[in-house]
């Protein structure tokens, strides 16, 4: 049983389940070893595997025999990128020597050398991407420029000059090869003793002593390219990023040619390449360190980041739909994808396989050093394989099995022990909730202060993995932070409706007495999930977040869903208002507020809450200047503070329970006929009298909570200090400030009339205003219809006697209305032992939110979208 002294460990933040088994690791087919050089890049044809090394060579490996076939030499720096153009049978290579080289993959001969604009000034050429449609090679440079070079279809795979026609290169018209290029400082050089500058007519392949020439032991094998070209200044975007362009991915399909570029500036940029110059379509800010690797599949791009995260980006909706935490702090240097499975290669040498639902289905140590590169390629004969290269000089060839053929062990739910649900989002919901509940984020106990902070950190990462941009907003020293996250909807011509979802990740204490299971272990029994916070408010938060993630995955999120999840709700929302007001510009315009932090009135009829009472919590302290005394000695000789307290409390209500504060009831709103009809209906449903419901929901009340005394608390002591706690519940249209002043004035005036020598101290500890929803609000109608659509019955309109301080405050601050969707049932035991929530309610609550968001996106009735 968890306790404040020994809290359970904070769960790992990843929402990706570990579905590994002893048979899930791919079979190692073969190992190829470089000559003590890191394998920085890989490419493959049907016959060969090409490996670009740190020692400047490109090694060619035969796929049939796994033997070293040849070595392609010419680069004078590390070979950083390889790109295969299948229809041309060309291999492009680029490196630290600021050159792009083109090789024939049939004859393994050198074809061309392309110098970037500014030559060495471009720096290392980190990445390449080839478009078959455009016949263009794109180059990502260290100097932050994006460059490209266009080859026409008139160049044959062997590069024969006889195939050149008038239009060879964009911007060049002469068919004369010599006139199309500049002199190359190595291949067109003269012997050094002649002291002559390079000349395109020299063609001196044996002149090995030129500046920046390869080492003498390699030069005899260096092939002479048939042509040398330079990228013109018109084919440059500088800067394309504010950091090195580490990686690129081409999307060449029926929608045109698009290019994705990833950089050290933490952005992935999407470019439309159908015109003469690539035009920027969209920028994805990943916020997880430099983008080191990219891979595309259809309209989805995965971006491997510097700190161990993979961002999954949807190109159609231009949103980030998921984040995978591979291993925090360990760079993701290469990505490969096959048949829905994503393979991640990390700086710790590990390779992991992730399913389409982003669960880890395999993890293995592939290299003793850093896993630097990877590709998916066909095996010789049949099937496919994953090829990885590492800093340990090894190239590993792994058997890859299609996802549909994988024999993975059945996954069992944490709540029933039965096979997991087929819906991956539902599985994610339960799995995430199990981790959320495991953190004892008790805001009222200092011993759990760090647990609250860890809960905020975990929730921020959870939202980010589900597709939101998330961060923490500090609420002041000693207070728990707010988790702020935004699920951005599909980009369109018109502004999207913006919905703010409010909730709280803090919980009340969970003493073990009365619990049938560990309150911080999500436990399923008979269709219910048990654990502290499952219904108040961690379950609803998780359901709404998964609803947004589901819509993102379906490219159907047509609104912006903004999360504001605080960590002080159970102790008065300390610092919440000031923090939100300070960050209003970042939060942005809000059209409507959604809350899910209450329960139904019964067990089997869905409800919508449209009213909450306000509250005034007050501490009263009556004391004298004497110490605690013995009643047998001083009894009757002094005016006792306890007697004054009892007398004072007795004046607050009459014998019928009416509150005696002057003018207290003057502003209470009278019930309407429609409201009375509603109470009759609710009385039939609940089998409780309408007067009882009215007294709980729409009539003010006063409660005396406790009396505390100083001293040893035995029956012979007269306490010198007596403290009482009282609260008022207020309703529409009582003014909160007026009620507070009236209460304080009444207590002071009444106490003064006692003529007692004792002193009275009044502390108004906490206040919250009442809230009443707008039943004619189109958003309310949309939510009501969404509930009816999912449950097949009209939801009951109910009110609650409790208070949520932040709801009316948010309404006033953002000048919009709030909606309250309860997901729990009346028997959910919120704040009590064995707190629970129905699994069906959680699933349907998520579905209701999805239907609601779809409806308001389609209607476009929000002020921001009109």
Active site positions, annotated: 506, 569
Structure tokens at 237: 């975007």
For residues 49 and 42, what is the distance between their CA atoms, to the nearest angstrom? 7
CB under 8 Å to 45, separation ≥6 — which residues?
84, 86, 89, 91, 105
Cα 687 off chain centre by: 45
116 DSSP assignment: P
For residues 770 and 775, what is the distance between their CA atoms, to the nearest angstrom? 16
CB 611 within 8 A of CB 773: yes
For residues 190 and 486, what is the distance between their CA atoms, to the nearest angstrom? 63
Number of other residues whose CB lies within 10 A of the CB of residue 665: 12
Tell me how many degrees the CA angle 456-459-465 measures, rounded to the nearest 5: 145
Structure tokens at 92: 């492009």
CB 610 within 8 A of CB 783: no
Say which residue the tokens 């629970």 belong to. 836
For residues 251 and 660, what is the distance between their CA atoms, to the nearest angstrom? 74
Structure tokens at 678: 């509603």
CB 290 within 8 A of CB 306: yes
CB 466 within 8 A of CB 322: yes
For residues 410 and 421, what is the distance between their CA atoms, to the nearest angstrom? 11
Q: Please list the alpha-helical segments (H only) found in 523-672.
A: 538-553, 576-582, 584-587, 631-634, 641-650
User: Which uninterrupted H or E stretch holds 296?
Assistant: strand 291-297
User: Shortest CA distance to 136 belongs to which of 150, 116, 124, 122?
Assistant: 150
Structure tokens at 176: 């004369």
163 DSSP assignment: G
Q: Would you tell me the crossing angle of helices 449-465 and 538-553 to the nearest 10 degrees? A: 20
For residues 615 and 119, what is the distance between their CA atoms, to the nearest angstrom? 72
User: Which uninterrupted H or E stretch holds 697?
Assistant: helix 690-697
- Provide Rg for the chain, Cα atoms: 35
């Amino acid at each position: 049983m968890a306790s404040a002294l020994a809290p359970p460990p904070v769960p790992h933040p990843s929402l990706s389940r570990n579905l590994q088994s002893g048979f899930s690791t791919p079979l190692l087919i073969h190992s190829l070893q470089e000559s003590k050089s890191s394998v920085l890049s890989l490419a493959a044809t049907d016959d060969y595997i090409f490996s670009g090394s740190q020692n400047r060579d490109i090694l060619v490996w035969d796929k049939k025999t796994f033997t070293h076939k040849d070595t392609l030499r010419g680069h004078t720096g590390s070979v950083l990128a390889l790109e295969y153009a299948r229809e041309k049978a060309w291999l492009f290579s680029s490196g630290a020597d600021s050159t792009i080289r083109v090789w024939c993959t049939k004859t393994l001969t050198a074809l061309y050398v392309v110098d970037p604009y500014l030559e060495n000034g471009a720096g290392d050429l980190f990445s390449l991407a080839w478009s078959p449609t455009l016949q263009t090679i794109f180059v990502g440079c260290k100097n932050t420029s994006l460059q490209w070079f266009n080859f026409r279809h008139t160049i044959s795979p062997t590069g024969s000059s006889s195939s050149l026609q008038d239009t060879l290169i964009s911007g060049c018209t002469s068919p004369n090869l010599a006139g199309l290029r500049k002199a190359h400082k190595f291949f067109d050089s003269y012997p050094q003793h002649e002291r002559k500058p390079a000349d395109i007519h020299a063609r001196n392949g044996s002149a090995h002593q030129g500046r920046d020439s390869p080492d003498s032991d390699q030069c005899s094998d260096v092939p002479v390219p048939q042509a040398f070209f330079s990228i013109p200044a018109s084919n440059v975007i500088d800067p394309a990023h504010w950091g090195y362009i580490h990686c690129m991915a081409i999307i060449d399909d029926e929608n045109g040619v698009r290019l994705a570029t990833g950089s050290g500036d933490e952005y992935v940029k999407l470019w439309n390449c159908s015109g003469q110059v690539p035009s920027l379509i969209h920028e994805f800010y990943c916020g997880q360190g430099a983008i080191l690797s990219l891979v595309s599949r259809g309209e989805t791009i995965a971006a491997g980041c510097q700190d161990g995260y993979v961002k999954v980006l949807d190109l159609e909706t231009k949103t980030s739909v998921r984040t995978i935490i591979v291993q925090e702090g360990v760079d993701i240097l290469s990505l490969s994808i096959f048949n829905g499975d994503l393979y991640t290669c990390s700086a710790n040498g590990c390779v992991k396989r992730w399913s389409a639902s982003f669960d880890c289905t395999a993890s293995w140590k592939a290299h003793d050093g850093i896993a630097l590169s990877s590709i998916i390629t066909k095996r010789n004969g049949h099937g496919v394989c994953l090829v990885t290269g590492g800093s340990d000089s090894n190239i590993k060839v792994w058997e890859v099995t299609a996802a549909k053929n994988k024999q993975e062990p059945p996954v069992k739910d944490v709540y029933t022990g039965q096979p997991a649900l087929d819906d991956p989002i539902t599985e994610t919901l339960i799995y995430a909730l199990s981790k959320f509940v495991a953190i004892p984020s008790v805001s009222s106990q200092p011993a759990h202060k760090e647990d609250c902070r860890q809960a905020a950190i975990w929730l921020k990462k959870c939202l980010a993995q589900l597709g939101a941009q998330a961060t923490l907003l500090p609420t002041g020293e000693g207070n728990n932070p707010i988790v702020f996250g935004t699920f951005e909807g599909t980009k369109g011509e018109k502004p999207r409706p913006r919905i703010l979802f409010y909730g709280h990740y803090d919980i009340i204490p969970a003493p073990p007495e009365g619990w049938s299971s560990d309150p911080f272990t999500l436990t399923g029994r008979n269709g219910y999930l048990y654990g502290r916070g499952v219904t108040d408010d961690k379950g609803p938060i998780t359901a709404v977040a998964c609803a947004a993630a589901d819509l993102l995955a379906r490219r159907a999120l047509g609104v912006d869903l903004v999360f504001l999840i605080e960590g002080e709700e159970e102790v008065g929302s300390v610092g919440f208002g000031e923090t939100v007001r300070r960050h209003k510009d970042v939060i942005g315009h809000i059209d409507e507020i959604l809350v899910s932090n209450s329960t139904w009135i019964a067990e089997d009829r869905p409800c919508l809450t449209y009213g909450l009472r306000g509250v005034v919590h007050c501490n009263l302290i009556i004391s004298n200047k004497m110490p605690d005394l013995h009643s047998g000695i001083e009894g009757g000789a002094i005016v006792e503070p306890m007697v004054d307290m009892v007398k004072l409390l007795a004046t607050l209500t009459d014998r019928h329970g009416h509150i005696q504060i002057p003018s207290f009831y003057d502003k209470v709103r009278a019930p309407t006929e429609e409201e009375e009809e509603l109470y009759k209906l609710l009385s039939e449903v609940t089998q409780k009298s309408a007067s009882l419901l009215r007294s709980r929901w729409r009539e003010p009340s006063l409660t005396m909570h406790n009396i505390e005394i100083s001293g040893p608390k035995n029956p012979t002591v007269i306490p010198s200090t007596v403290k009482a706690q009282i609260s008022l519940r207020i309703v529409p249209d009582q003014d909160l400030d007026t009620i507070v002043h009236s209460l304080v004035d009444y207590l002071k005036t009444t106490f003064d009339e006692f003529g007692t020598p004792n002193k009275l101290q009044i502390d108004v500890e906490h206040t919250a205003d009442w809230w009443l929803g707008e039943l004619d609000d189109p958003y309310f109608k949309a939510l009501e219809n969404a509930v009816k659509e999912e449950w097949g019955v009209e939801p009951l309109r109910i009110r609650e006697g409790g208070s949520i301080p932040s709801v009316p405050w948010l309404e006033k601050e953002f000048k919009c209305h709030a909606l309250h969707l309860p997901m729990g049932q009346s028997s959910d035991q919120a704040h009590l032992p064995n707190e629970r929530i129905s699994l069906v309610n959680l699933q349907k609550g998520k579905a209701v939110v999805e239907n609601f968001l779809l409806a308001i996106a389609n209607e476009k009735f929000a002020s921001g979208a009109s």
